[in-house]
């Protein structure tokens, strides 16, 4: 199971999403964008003001489709900002910055390079790495899906941002 210091593998400067159990919803740090299943009527990705395309929200029938769009939208938005790019006149999700994939056949989340994965393994959720995590472990197990997904997404985002910083320092 997950150890207390697993979140040391995540750079706290680069948190993309958090679960808000009071609402319940996924939200970014500023709570400007969130993803929720309202009253069992399907999943909605909502913006406090508007999404970059001008609409207030987008509805999805499938949880995986909604979470994939939500994470890839936030990731694209943050990467564009980090690179000084505008989102005006562009797709909501920039294919260059798509990071999250759902593989329905194997029932697992993967990053776009298939270096990291998240899947249910019996009673636990396993987040694994092809080349191990920074602390040498090949996988970390979580007791619930929400905790595993939050770790998985934030690890991917933090790792990408750290790599960008390293490249900028060279």
| pLDDT tens profile 39-66 | 678 899 998 888 877 888 999 999 999 9
* Residue 115 DSSP one-character state: S
* Interval 65-102: pLDDT, tens: 999 999 999 998 888 888 888 776 677 888 888 889 99
Contact 146, 161 (CB under 8 A): no
Q: Is the full-model pTM beyond 0.75?
A: yes
| Residue among 94, 77, 102, 80 at smallest CA distance from 152 | 102
Handedness of CA 166, 71, 145, 17 (dihedral sign): positive
């Amino acid at each position: 199971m997950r150890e207390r210091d697993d979140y040391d593998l995540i750079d706290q400067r680069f948190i993309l999403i958090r679960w808000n159990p009071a609402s319940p919803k996924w939200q970014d740090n500023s709570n400007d964008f969130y993803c929720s299943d309202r009253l069992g009527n399907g999943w909605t990705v909502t913006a406090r003001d508007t999404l970059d395309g001008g609409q207030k929200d987008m509805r999805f029938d499938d949880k995986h489709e909604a979470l994939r769009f939500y994470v890839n939208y936030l990731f694209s938005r943050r990467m564009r900002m980090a690179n000084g790019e505008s989102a005006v006149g562009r797709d909501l999700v920039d294919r260059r910055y798509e990071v999250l994939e759902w593989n329905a056949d194997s029932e697992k989340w993967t990053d776009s390079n298939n270096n990291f994965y998240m899947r249910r393994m019996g009673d636990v959720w396993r987040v694994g790495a092809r080349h191990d995590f920074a602390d040498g472990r090949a996988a970390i197990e979580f007791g619930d899906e929400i905790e595993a997904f939050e770790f998985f997404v934030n690890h991917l985002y933090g790792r990408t941002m750290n790599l960008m910083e390293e490249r900028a320092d060279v």
